[in-house]
Amino acid sequence: MPSPSQLSRDLRLRSDPDLRRRRWLVGLSLFGVAIGQVVALYQTGILRRLPDPPVGPFDSERVNASDYAYKRLQVPDAFLMVATYAATAALAAAGGRNRAERRPLLPIALAAKTLFDVGTNLKLAREEWEENEALCAYCQTATLVSVLSVALALPEASRALRRWRRG
């Protein structure tokens, strides 16, 4: 396990393919957090409007003001989006370089989390459409973030899984 100072150097200064992908994962995940924050501002009345693209089946205001958006855990669902993308960012940032060899469960957990996110997002998109006959442009952008995240997480996770199986 790297010391805090080594972890700092690894994350900030080192450059290898895994660290570059992890940085992209952190950035995409924090973009997902930002998307969730915008929707949360709308869902709590701080923002009055959620602009949508001029094309497509999007009505983000209708979706995010509907029962669908408030039925889980008695909290507006954008707060859950913020939490899940923050967790993904933390998993991407956890551990130093060569963590696939030294801490293989971290990249495996990250890949599992990103796959779970895609599955959840696709399920929620189906629910969005069934319950509202519209999609939230912000939520569907987050789905794209999750799909890209899977692609970025899999190479390191694949190596980590091979290492973990060897013991």
Q: Alpha-carbon distance 118 to 103, whole Å?
A: 24
What pLDDT digit, counting tens, does each position of 87-142 carry?
999 999 999 989 999 999 999 999 999 999 999 999 999 999 999 999 999 999 99
Q: Tell me, what amino acid is at 83?
A: A
- H helix count then E strand count, the chain: 7, 0
User: Full-prediction pTM beyond 0.85?
Assistant: yes
* pLDDT score recorded for residue 166: 85
Contact between 101 and 158 (Cβ < 8 Å)? no
The helix (H) or strand (E) run that includes residue 62 is: helix 60-65
What pLDDT digit, counting tens, does each position of 134-152 carry?
999 999 999 999 999 999 9
Strand partners, 58: 135
pLDDT > 70: percent of the chain: 99
Domains and CATH numbers, the chain: 16-93+104-166 (1.20.1440)
